[in-house]
């Protein structure tokens, strides 16, 4: 897939190993996926970051 421009990824998921200071994602890009079997239309239920990795 061709990348279009650049974006800053703001993220506050502190438990992810790519998160810095509960502010920003250190990856150059991420993949966002739909949550399975959810069609509520509520943002907190419909999508999630598929690039998440647990920070051990």
Phi, psi angle pair for 43, to nearest 5°: -55, -40
Q: By CB under 6 A, is residue 13 in contact with ligand SF4? A: yes
How many whole angstroms separate alpha carbon 44 and alpha carbon 22?
Answer: 18
Q: How far is the CB of 17 from ligand SF4 (least distance, A)?
A: 7
Asked if 18 interacts with ligand SF4 (CB under 6 A), we say: yes
38 phi-psi bin (left φ>0, alpha ψ -120 to 50, beta other): beta
DSSP 36: T
Site string for ligand SF4, 31-50 (x = CB under 6 A): ------------------x-
Contact positions vs ligand SF4 (CB under 6 A): 9, 11, 13, 16, 18-19, 25, 27, 30, 49, 51-52
């Amino acid at each position: 897939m061709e990348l279009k421009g650049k974006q800053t990824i703001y993220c506050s998921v502190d438990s992810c190993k790519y998160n810095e200071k509960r502010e920003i994602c250190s990856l150059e890009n991420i993949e966002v996926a739909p949550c399975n079997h959810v069609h509520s239309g509520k943002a907190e239920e419909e999508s999630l970051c598929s690039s998440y990795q647990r920070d051990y």
